[in-house]
């Protein structure tokens, strides 16, 4: 996510590092569902351990709610940063303390962390309150059924009724009417939020899919056997997702059911292969950097978001005497001469990743883990 979110120039990006413009799938479109999927796996492992240690359902519910609120608040903080604090001369000329609260009146409400928070809340409460895995499975299927009904029934004249196009889908209608245009993501003249309200339902189903995989991994069979079956099941689910495509396109921004099935299947195969490689074959070489990143995920996601926004807003003067952002100054002055526009943009993103790896490595060595 850090690599994708921090290119040197948004106009100079290799195609695999772009999201699909609407329908379709790129490697970048796998990152978010993989993350929600592994959150579901972690729910199974973590809740099972805490219950074994004597935690009650009430303890788990309180933890789920408090953690979700904190993650959601961090997402809002990122959306609002820098809250009108003057980081360049233009902002300074327009700055006043009284205007800082005004920034909150049109802050974007949805976001990546917000979706993670809500999906964790929905999946976590379903796991704790539904009681048995049969009931939990019904809840997960219910998320998808409700989504399909909302998207396909003629609930609003001129919207939805089976439309999965940008202009008139029900996801967009719900966000515009429940959250308001000022609080949604905008690309040019189009107001559409890729982390909208209705599309969070199938995203929660992705999280629940991870939970059931976690439950299966915790089962009594030999690990190698479980991983082989998990990989085959993942291939079957991904194939089913592809078969559904003629009826419902794969679309990350709408988080369609076909997208849930395809990415969930690929996530299962990826997890099975990774666990076979690391836990069965004991091939551990090169795995420490991912472990370091995974040890402080909120630190790096929030920190990289703040840094990226700061580099765009802080201004300096380039060799031609132009006033440019610090981001553009570094990209054009350092990375483009070394690797060219496109590869320089990628090198800038890779440097960003390595910068954060260095910070997290220090925290990891000092055993400092920020948890909520």
| CA-to-CA separations, 273 to 140, 206, 270, 277, 285, in angstroms, rounded | 25, 19, 5, 6, 15
Q: What is the pLDDT along the chain (372 residues), one digit of tens a residue?
A: 899 999 999 999 999 999 999 999 999 999 999 999 999 999 999 998 898 898 999 999 999 999 999 999 999 999 988 877 767 777 666 666 666 676 678 899 999 999 999 999 999 999 999 989 999 999 999 999 999 999 999 999 999 999 999 999 999 999 999 999 999 998 778 899 999 999 999 999 999 999 999 999 999 999 999 999 999 999 999 999 999 999 999 999 999 999 999 999 999 999 999 999 999 999 999 899 999 999 999 999 999 999 999 999 998 888 888 888 999 999 999 999 999 999 999 999 999 999 999 999 999 999 999 988
Structure tokens at 69: 């609120």
Whole-number pLDDT of residue 102 = 67
**Domains of the chain: which residue ranges?**
22-283, 285-372
Q: What is the pTM of this model?
A: 0.93
Kind plus residue range of the DSSP H or E element containing 323:
strand 323-325
- Distance CA(361)–CA(372), nearest Å, equals 20
Whole-number pLDDT of residue 92 = 67
Calculate the average pLDDT of the chain.
93
DSSP 95-163: --GGGTGGGGGG-----HHHHHHHHHHHHHHHHHHH-SHHHHHHHHHHHHHHHHHHHHS--BTTB-TT-
Rounded to 5 degrees, φ, ψ at 191 are -100, 110
Among all chains, which residue has been given the structure tokens 């976590």?
124
């Amino acid at each position: 996510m850090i690599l994708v979110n921090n290119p040197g120039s948004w106009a100079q990006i290799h195609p695999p590092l772009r999201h699909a413009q609407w329908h379709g799938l790129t490697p970048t479109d796998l990152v978010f569902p993989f993350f929600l999927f592994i959150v579901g796996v972690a729910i199974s492992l973590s809740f099972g351990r805490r219950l074994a240690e004597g935690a009650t359902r009430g303890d788990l519910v309180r933890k789920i709610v408090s953690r979700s609120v904190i993650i959601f608040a961090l997402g809002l903080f990122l959306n609002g940063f820098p809250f009108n604090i003057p980081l360049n001369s233009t902002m300074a000329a327009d700055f006043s303390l009284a205007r800082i609260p005004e920034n909150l009146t049109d802050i974007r409400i949805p976001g990546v962390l917000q979706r993670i928070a809500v999906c964790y809340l929905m999946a976590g409460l379903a796991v704790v309150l539904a009681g048995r895995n049969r009931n939990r499975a019904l809840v997960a299927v219910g998320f998808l059924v409700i989504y399909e009904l909302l998207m396909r029934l003629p609930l609003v004249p001129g919207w939805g009724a089976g439309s999965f196009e940008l202009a008139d889908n029900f996801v967009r209608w719900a966000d515009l009417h429940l959250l308001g245009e000022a609080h949604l993501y905008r690309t040019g003249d189009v107001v559409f939020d890729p982390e909208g309200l209705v599309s969070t339902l199938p995203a929660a189903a992705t999280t629940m899919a991870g939970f059931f995989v976690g439950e299966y991994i915790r089962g009594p069979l030999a690990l190698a056997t479980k991983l082989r079956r998990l990989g085959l099941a993942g291939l079957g689910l991904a194939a089913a997702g592809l078969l559904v495509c003629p009826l419902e396109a794969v679309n990350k921004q709408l988080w369609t059911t076909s997208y849930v099935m395809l990415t969930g299947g690929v996530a299962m195969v990826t997890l099975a292969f990774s666990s076979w490689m690391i836990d069965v074959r004991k091939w551990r070489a090169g795995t420490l950097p991912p472990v370091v990143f995974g040890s402080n995920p909120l630190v790096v996601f929030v920190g990289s978001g703040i840094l990226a926004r700061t580099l765009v807003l802080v201004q300096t003067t380039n060799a031609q005497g132009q006033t440019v952002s610090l981001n553009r100054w570094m990209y054009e002055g350092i990375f483009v001469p070394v690797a060219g526009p496109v590869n320089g943009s990628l090198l800038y993103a890779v440097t960003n990743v390595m910068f954060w790896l260095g910070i997290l490595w220090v925290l990891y060595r000092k055993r400092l883990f920020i948890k909520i």
